[in-house]
Structures are given as C-alpha cells and as structure tokens.
C-alpha cells in the first residue's frame, strides 16, 4: 500500500513538473518568436538553398575500380534522403529528436520530456536540442556556451523550418553530422564502420550508428565497440518505447552480430604516386579547394592491372640492380597508350611512399643521353634529304666553345668513317647525331620536340643531340608515343573524365589525335629504332613471338642516368634508373644492359594476350609524300 502511494505521488510530481515546464516552455517559445524579429544580423538561412557542403573526391581507375579518396578536413559523400536507410532515419530521430516532424524548430515540450526521461534513467536517452537546432549549430554558430548563442540557435532553427521542408532539413542533417573517425555524413560513416552504403544499413547497424552522434570520439564502434554496443541497446529501447519497431525486431537487432568494416577514413591510396600526379593535374585545372572539397568523381587513365605489373616489375628490377652491384637506388616508369595519350601505368620510385613522396616520373628531370637521338634523326628524315640507308660520316669533328674547342667523341672512343644512318642509330654513334643536328639546325630539332610534347627547357647547343637536355620520364614516354602513333599526337594525361557528385561532366579528355609529324619520317625513324632492338644496343628488349619493337637506349657519360625508351603500336614505355642525389652508378651501367631487361619484363606481361601489330612500312608511306 505504501509503495502504491509513493508511486502515485511520484507520478503526480512528474506531471506537475512536466506541466510547469510546458507552461514555461510555451512562454519561452512565444518570447523567442518575438525576439526573432530583432535578430536582423543573423545569417540568412536561405543561402542553404545553394549550399554545397565540402565533399570528398573519389579517384577510379579506367575500369571503375576505386583507387583513392581525397579530402581536406572534411571527409564526406553527400547523398539524397532516398539513399539513406529508413532504419537509420528512425534510429536517429528516436535518440535525437523523436518529435522532429511535429515541432517548428524548437521543442520546449521535447526538452521537458527529455529531461524527465534522462532523469529517470540516469543516462542520456534523448537530446534536448532539436535536429534543426543541431543543424544550425553545425552550419552557422560556434560551440560557445552562452545564452546569446542558444537564443540565436533557436531563432535560426525557426527560420530554417519556415524555408525548408522537414525532409530537406533531415537530409541536410544526415549529410552534415559528424560521426567520428574523420567521417561526416551518413554515407561516409556507413562505409567507414560497416563497409556498406547508408541505404543498406540494417536495424542493428543503424541503431549503433545513431548512438555514435552524441559523442563520436567515445561512442564509435571501431574505437570502443563495447560502449557502442551499449549505446545501440539504448537506441533500440527508445525505438521500442516509441513503437517504431516491434519487440521481435528489437530482439533480433540486439542479437544480430555486427560485422565492422576496416575504416576508410585514413585509408591510403592504392597507388600513391598516381594519386599525387592526378591531384596535381586536377589542381592546375580546378584549383585546390575544388579538388579537396568539391566531391569530384575522377576516372583516371590508369589501368590497375598494368599498374600492378609495373610496380612488381620495377621492384624486381630494383632487386636485380642491387644484386648486380649497379649502385642504382631508384627507378621510374611511365607507360602510355599511343592511340589515346592515356597514361596506363606510372611508377614514381621504389621504396615506401610514406618515407619519400618524390615522384621521379613527373617531378624529376634527368639527362636523357642517347635516348634523345631519335628526335634528331626524325628531323633529318623530315627534310627529305636522308633515308635510313643514307651514308653519314663518323669521323672526328670539332666546334668552337668559348675559349675552348668542343670535340665530341663516341662511347668507345673510336671512329668508323662512312656508315649508314641505320647502323649509326643501332649502335648509338654520337658523331653522326651531332652532324645531323648541325645539318638540320638545333632550333629545328627543338621545334620538332615541342610538337611531340616536350616542354622542358632545351638549350640550342651543339651537344643537344647527345641528350644534354634534362627531361621527365613522362614527357619522354609521351614523345615516343607520338612515334608509336605514326606522328599523331594526343594530349598526355592521367585523367580520362571528371564529373561532380551529381554526374555533371566537368572535364572530358576523350582522345583528339592531331597529326604533328610527317608520317613517312616517323616510319623511317621507327624503322631505324627497330634496328636498335634486332642488332644494336637494345637486344635485351626483344619481345617474344616476333613482336615488332622500336626503342632506344640512353646512358650519360658520367653514369648518373640510364634509360630505355621503347614502343610497340599499342604501348610506349620509358624507364629511368639512377640516384636522387645524382651520384654515379657503377661504371658500365648502361641502358642497354641494365634497363632494357626491366623494360622487356614489363612489356611481356603488359602485352600478354594483346595481338601482335606491325608498324607501317616506310616504303609505302614514302610514296605518299
């Protein structure tokens, strides 16, 4: 009897307290409505109609496989309300604002109920602020705890309710809210914690996620699973109390095993050197803010299958170089589809990217050595005065060089007299290249290089034909790709297409080949470069099945750089080896002996299953001049 009396007294006190709070709350609401008129300096909530929250950009390979996420301080993917599970919507409303659809921005009655619920349970089962107030605080206001800030929050909440529908407000909230682990918005949180879309969350997962919002750093399941599980039970209990789920559904959700994801927030790029280069290209086009906050969807040109082959090949090549005592600590590789200009694979270096982010494929400019000679021979053939079988004098020659005399020499310090250009190219004689450079004119050679996409500085000096220029691996591969494509130049790019998060196309790099070289001269250049492979310095690059290959070795006289650059009609690849500090490799480390085998290993695997394609016949093209 005594217990019954005490229980009745408790209920009466609760009712009196609730009634008092409701009366006071109604008065507060009226006062706020009046105050709203005087808060003219508050932000205009109508700007949210055009508001675009910061959103993560996504990079994909050419086949649509995700390779990286890129964002600034905010990691978020914005989705419409229709792509968020009803389970999550109900769970969030149950624990944060059960009367969301019945209040007008502020809810004094809700504050009263939340106070009583929390007092009874001695835990925070329900928040006092409405979702609209929380949205206002996140978007417009500081976290300062003051009466002025709370009043401003309430006023702005009521204004938002006048401008937007409830569903619009809920959608903004679910995309804006922070869920811990550097995740903002429901979609990113679902991907981070459960490795699935927000649309696919079941009741158990949704209730756990809803329980995180109040204290994300403490309640998230990846950092504190036991606490997150406890929070999940509170959310489910509240849903059962509200009648938003049946007892059977609640029981099933409580018992359901939770399969956590591995966390995507701090996930590194699958291909960091590629991501770095793509980001640089995007920043140049759109600016840093758009790249980090604009929610771009970037289809790169990279083929992850070829990329993995390139990485495995260069890593093995690096190990081989160490075993051979070559003293070459770094390798860079770029492979390009000549028909599109698309970079299919890029290796910026070997070793841990986290320890050294220097991308040697695009940031490092190194002397190219004899790999420059094909540009000179092309210019000579383009005059129409030379063919591969023309004779060229390989004998001593000298030029004034200030107060001294420049006397170029061949690699072996010998001279062969009159030889064919074909032979001069195959065994990489220096004097013939110098003579042809003088005949054509160094400025003409430079002009032809520009047509092929070489933009690095090229000094018009006598020694330029021997590769005194410093070029990147990317632009070298791109220039050779123009040879591989018969003189047609495509823009060399790592980006195929860019859209925003709604699918609007922002950039389309569909190939637009332009004829920049004379096809007959290109065919003749390719013809002599085939001799390099079949009987010259590049025999280590011969591919199986009789596949036609054209290419050129390159080695600097001081053994600081070694190259092999070669192509088939479907793929052009440049590989460089050397040291970042420009220290010498071991004597005798040449492109033909040490780099060509790495090139061959990559190309054999990259071209597996690709039909053999022949180069154009120079004789047939020559008749069409």
Q: Are 140 and 43 in contact (CB under 8 A)?
A: yes
Does the annotation count 370 as an active-site position? Answer: yes
Q: The dihedral of CA 417, 420, 421, 426: what is its sign?
A: negative
User: CA-based angle 366:371:377, to the nearest 5?
Assistant: 135
401 sits in which H/E element: strand 399-401
Q: Which of 55, 96, 281, 524 is catalytic?
A: 96
Neighbouring C-beta atoms of residue 581, cutoff 10 Å: 8
Token pair of 526 as six digits: 């390719």
For residue 350, the number of C-alpha atoms closer than 13 Å in the C-beta half-sphere is 24
Q: Using CA atoms, how far apart are residues 240 and 220, in angstroms rounded to an integer?
A: 22
Q: Which of 85, 370, 371, 463 is catalytic?
A: 370
Helix axes 203-210, 86-96, angle to 10 degrees: 40
Instruction: Provide the Cα torsion 38, 42, 48, 51; round to 10°.
Output: 170
**What are the residues facing 76 on neighbouring strands?**
184
Q: Using CA atoms, how far apart are residues 499 and 292, in angstroms rounded to an integer?
A: 14
Does the annotation count 371 as an active-site position? Answer: no
Q: Using CA atoms, how far apart are residues 284 and 287, in angstroms rounded to an integer?
A: 6
Token pair of 447 as six digits: 């002009």
Neighbouring C-beta atoms of residue 503, cutoff 10 Å: 7
Residues 6+ apart with CB under 8 A from 184: 53, 74, 75, 76, 175, 176, 177, 178
Instruction: Reduce the DSSP state of residue 303 to 3 states and report it.
Output: coil
70 sits in which H/E element: strand 66-70
Neighbouring C-beta atoms of residue 602, cutoff 10 Å: 26
The DSSP letter of residue 391 is: E
Q: Are strands 297-300 and 57-60 parallel, antiparallel or unpaired?
A: parallel
Chain-centre distance for alpha carbon 59: 5
Residue in the structure block whose two tokens are 């003293």: 327
**What are the residues facing 489 on neighbouring strands?**
514
Q: Using CA atoms, how far apart are residues 397 and 442, in angstroms rounded to an integer?
A: 17
- Which of 367, 584, 357 minimizes the C-alpha distance to 465? 367
Helix axes 373-382, 473-484, angle to 10 degrees: 30
What are the catalytic residues? 96, 370
């Amino acid at each position: 009897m005594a217990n019954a009396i005490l229980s009745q007294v408790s209920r009466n006190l609760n009712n009196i307290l609730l009634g008092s709070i409701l009366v006071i709350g109604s008065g507060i609401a009226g006062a706020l409505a009046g105050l709203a008129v005087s808060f003219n300096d508050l932000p205009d909530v109508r700007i949210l109609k055009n508001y675009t929250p910061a959103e993560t950009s996504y990079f994909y390979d050419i086949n649509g496989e995700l390779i990286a996420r890129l964002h600034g301080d905010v990691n978020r993917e914005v989705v419409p309300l229709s792509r968020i599970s009803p389970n999550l919507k109900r769970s969030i409303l149950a624990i944060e604002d059960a009367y969301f659809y019945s209040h007008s921005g502020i809810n004094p009655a809700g504050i009263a109920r939340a106070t009583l619920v929390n007092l009874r349970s001695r835990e925070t089962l329900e928040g006092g602020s409405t979702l609209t107030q929380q949205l206002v605080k996140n978007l417009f206001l500081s976290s300062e705890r003051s009466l002025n800030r709370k009043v401003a929050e309430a006023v702005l909440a009521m204004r938002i309710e006048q401008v937007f529908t409830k569903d619009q407000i809920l959608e903004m909230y679910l995309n804006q809210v922070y869920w811990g682990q550097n995740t903002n918005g429901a979609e990113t949180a679902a991907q981070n914690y459960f490795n699935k879309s927000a649309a696919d969350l079941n009741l158990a997962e949704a209730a756990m996620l809803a329980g995180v919002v109040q204290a994300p750093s403490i309640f998230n399941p990846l950092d504190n699973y036991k606490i997150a599980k406890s929070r999940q039970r509170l959310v489910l209990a509240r849903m059962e109390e509200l009648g938003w789920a049946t007892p059977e559904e609640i029981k099933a959700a409580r018992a359901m095993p939770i399969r956590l994801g591995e966390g995507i927030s701090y996930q590194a790029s699958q291909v960091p050197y590629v991501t770095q280069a793509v980001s640089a290209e995007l920043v140049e086009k759109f600016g840093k803010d758009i790249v980090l906050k604009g929610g771009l969807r970037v289809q790169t040109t990279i083929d992850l299958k070829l990329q993995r082959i390139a990485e495995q090949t260069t890593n093995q090549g690096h190990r081989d170089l160490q075993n051979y005592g070559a003293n070459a600590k770094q390798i860079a590789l770029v492979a390009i589809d000549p028909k599109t200009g698309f970079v299919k694979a890029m290796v910026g270096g070997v070793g841990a990217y986290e320890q050294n982010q220097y991308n040697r494929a695009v940031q490092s400019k190194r002397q190219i050595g004899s790999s420059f000679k094909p540009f000179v021979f092309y210019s000579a053939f383009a005059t129409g005065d030379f063919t591969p079988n023309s004779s060229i004098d390989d004998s001593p020659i000298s030029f004034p060089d200030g107060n001294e005399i420049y006397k170029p020499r061949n690699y072996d310090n010998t001279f062969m007299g009159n030889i064919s250009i074909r032979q001069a190219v195959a065994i990489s004689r220096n004097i013939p290249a110098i003579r042809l450079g003088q005949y054509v004119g160094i400025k003409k050679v430079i002009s032809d290089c520009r047509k092929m996409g070489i933009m690095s500085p090229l000094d018009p000096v006598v020694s330029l034909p021997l590769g005194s220029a410093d070029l990147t691996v990317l632009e070298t591969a791109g220039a050779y790709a123009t040879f591989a494509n018969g003189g047609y130049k495509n823009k060399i790019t790592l980006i195929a297409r860019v859209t925003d998060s709604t699918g609007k196309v922002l950039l389309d790099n569909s190939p637009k080949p332009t004829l920049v070289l004379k096809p007959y001269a290109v065919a003749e250049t390719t013809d002599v470069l085939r001799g390099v492979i079949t009987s010259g310095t590049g025999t280590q690059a011969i591919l199986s099945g009789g596949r036609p290959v054209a290419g050129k070795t390159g080695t600097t006289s001081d053994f600081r750089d070694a190259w092999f650059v070669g192509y088939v009609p479907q793929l052009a690849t440049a590989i460089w080896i050397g040291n970042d500090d420009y220290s010498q490799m071991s004597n005798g480390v040449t492109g033909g002996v040490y780099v060509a085998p790495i090139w061959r290993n990559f190309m054999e695997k990259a071209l597996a299953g690709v039909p053999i394609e022949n180069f154009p016949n120079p004789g047939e093209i020559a008749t069409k001049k």
